[in-house]
Amino acid sequence: MEPALSVANMASGSLLLEMDDAELKALWTSPGGGLRALSSRLTVATGCPRFRQRLFAEGDLVADESALLSPCSLQLVLLPVCATTSKQREQVGKAILLQQPTVVEELLRLCHDPNMLVPHGRSALHALTVAAINGNCECLRLLLEAEADVDVSKASGLTALQWAARKGHVEASQLLVSAMADVDKADGTPTALQLAAKCGHVEIVASLLQARANPDKKAWGGAQGASTALQQASENGHLQIVRLLVDAGADKEAAGPVDIGMTPLGWACYWGHLEICRLLVEARAALNS
């Protein structure tokens, strides 16, 4: 029996996908269905994001579902990533800042590198980083769908997740975690959890802990040396975050360098955060390590 829809690689001739009438109908009628859903299936089959896919039917580019009449035989062309001009990079950076995802999508459809560096202030940062800094979730989704490196950090020192955690962008941080961002990454920098704990972003701390971020990882701690998220929260007076970290089993006796040796309780006492002191004492935390 002839399939209702078949897709083959135009270059190799290899069959990528076949569907019967029921499968094709379900694909078209499901929420978010149509060509977008077909492209998602082809992304799984080829590893190539939809932005670099082009479908042809009898030699003509398929632009919408009306061209797909059952039975239908399609050919798929996979395009390479192309070079991006400085003007195009500027367009992407501006579109992210102005919350214009359609502009970003149009440029990605031209097969531009999703890891491009775009102007940001006096420097250039990765497009994903700029989207995270600004909490622009629509652009984040597009860049991630285009397979941008979720953990890229070499341009700014921080990953997109670290920036989202620092800025308090809850939805953006959750989106990046869902995209398998490394929740504990720290290349001479604070972890995302440390940044959220220091800045008082309760929801982000909760979501990072749920994603199994390590509450006891010691990373950058400024002048005081390496410290944990619990030390940061205790020092900065964030009671709810201290409670979350204690409930998550964070080390209550973790201390800084030998010449300082301050535990979370020590920091809370030093800065006069009485409610945090009470909570830590009730949790049997020690004043000294």
Q: Is residue 154 one of the residues assigned to a domain?
A: yes
Q: What is the DSSP string of 124-139?
A: EEEHHHHHHHTT-HHH
Q: How many domains does the chain have?
A: 2
Q: Provide the pLDDT for residue 259.
A: 46
Q: What is the DSSP string of 159-219?
A: -HHHHHHHHT-HHHHHHHHHTT--TT--SSS--HHHHHHHHT-HHHHHHHHHTT--TT--B
Q: Provide the pLDDT for residue 1.
A: 65
Which CATH number covers residue 69? Answer: 3.10.20.90
Contacts of 39 (CB under 8 A, 6+ apart): 50, 53
Q: Provide the pLDDT for residue 151.
A: 96
Long-range contact list for 276-285, CB < 8 A, 24+ apart? 276/233, 276/234, 276/237, 276/239, 276/242, 279/239, 279/242, 279/243, 279/246, 280/234, 280/242, 280/246, 280/252, 283/246, 283/252, 284/252, 285/252, 285/253
pLDDT along the chain (289 residues), means of 10: 88 94 84 85 95 93 72 93 94 96 96 96 94 98 97 88 98 98 92 97 98 90 70 96 98 72 90 97 86
Same domain as 49, residue 29: yes
Q: Provide the pLDDT for residue 222.
A: 53
Q: Are 252 and 228 spatial neighbours (Cβ–Cβ below 8 Å)? A: no
Which of 37, 62, 78 corresponds to the end of one domain? 78
Q: Is residue 170 one of the residues assigned to a domain?
A: yes
Q: Provide the pLDDT for residue 2.
A: 78
Q: Is residue 178 one of the residues assigned to a domain?
A: yes
Q: Is residue 50 one of the residues assigned to a domain?
A: yes
Q: In which domain, by residue range, is 55 found?
A: 5-78
